[in-house]
């Protein structure tokens, strides 16, 4: 039994020596580049769904939007990756949010100045629901969504075009917001 314990101890000590030597950078390549690659943090622009910040004016009202921009990446989007009839964060990663400097009308309905997360409920061959929710700083998007925090829900007719748009985009246009992804164009009237 002592012989087994002694052999185990010797093996353990040798493993520690090898581990320590390999972590100390004593290799034939003294540039250290391999170690730098492991410890270097990935810059923000290397996210799978890049974080986008846009700002502009609709009429004389300042608006800003932050969203994660996913790509199609050879996936079936509507009805699959983004299921019909379920709340979607209208982007990727953290919740998409909109910041309004002044009160506005969204699809003719009043919305007070402030910050809101932006969700949608896609529907096949029907108008979509666009949701403005008071919980705007949601780290995990729709997984933290709570319907009781909805401030405004409106319906919007999606438009379908022939050409694919690989990356989701949200643009501030004179008429309001325009969400584009794959063959979808979702115009949201804001005045």
Encode pLDDT of 114-127 as tens digits: 999 999 999 999 99
pLDDT at 22 over 90: no
Q: Quick one: what percent of the chain has pLDDT higher than 70?
A: 73
Residue 81 pLDDT level (bands cut at 50, 70, 90): very high
Tell me how far apart the alpha carbons of residues 91 and 31 are, in angstroms, rounded to a whole number.
41
3-state secondary structure the chain: CHHHHHHHHHHHHHHHHHHHHHHCCCCCCCCCHHHHHHHCCCCHHHCCCCEEEEEEEECCEEEEEEEECCECCCCCCECCCECCCCCECCCCCCCCEEEECCCEEECCEEECCEEEEEEEECCCCCCEEEEEECCCCCCCHHHHCCHHHEEEEEEECCEEEEEEEEEEEEEEECCEEEEEEEEEEEEEEEC
Q: Containing domain of residue 18, as a range?
A: 2-39
* Per-residue pLDDT tens digits for 137-190: 766 555 678 999 999 999 999 999 999 999 999 999 999 999 999 999 999 999
Same domain for 8 and 70, yes or no, is no
Same domain for 96 and 113, yes or no, is yes
Specify the pLDDT at position 47.
81
Q: How confident is the model over 41-46, as a mean pLDDT?
A: 52
Same domain for 21 and 107, yes or no, is no
Same domain for 98 and 164, yes or no, is yes
Specify the pLDDT at position 46.
77
Specify the pLDDT at position 140.
58
Same domain for 54 and 73, yes or no, is yes
Specify the pLDDT at position 142.
57
Same domain for 110 and 134, yes or no, is yes
Q: Name which of 16-20, 52-56, 103-107, 121-125 the model is least confident about.
A: 16-20
Q: Name which of 38-52, 59-73, 88-102 the model is least confident about.
A: 38-52
Same domain for 66 and 158, yes or no, is yes
Same domain for 164 and 147, yes or no, is yes
Q: Quick one: what percent of the chain has pLDDT higher than 90?
A: 66
- Identify the bridge partners of residue 133 per DSSP, sorted by sequence position: 117, 150
Q: How many domains are there within the chain?
A: 2
Residue 45 pLDDT level (bands cut at 50, 70, 90): low
């Amino acid at each position: 039994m002592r012989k087994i314990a002694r052999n185990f101890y010797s093996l353990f000590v040798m493993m520690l020596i090898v581990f320590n030597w390999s972590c100390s950078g004593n290799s034939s390549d003294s540039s250290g580049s391999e170690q730098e690659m492991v410890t270097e943090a990935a810059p923000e622009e290397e996210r799978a769904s890049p974080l986008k910040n846009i700002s502009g004016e609709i009429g004389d009202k300042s608006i800003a939007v932050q969203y994660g921009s996913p790509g199609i990446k050879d996936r079936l989007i509507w009805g699959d990756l983004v299921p019909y009839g379920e709340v979607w964060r209208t982007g990727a990663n953290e919740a998409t949010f909109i910041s309004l400097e002044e009160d506005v009308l969204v699809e003719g309905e009043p919305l007070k100045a402030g910050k809101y997360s932006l969700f949608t409920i896609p529907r096949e061959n029907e108008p979509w629901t666009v949701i403005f929710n008071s919980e705007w700083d949601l780290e995990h998007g729709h997984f933290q969504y709570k319907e009781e925090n909805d401030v405004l829900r409106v319906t919007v007719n999606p438009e379908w075009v022939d050409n694919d748009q690989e990356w989701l985009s949200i643009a501030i246009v004179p008429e309001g917001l325009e969400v584009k992804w794959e063959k979808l164009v979702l115009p949201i009237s804001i005045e």
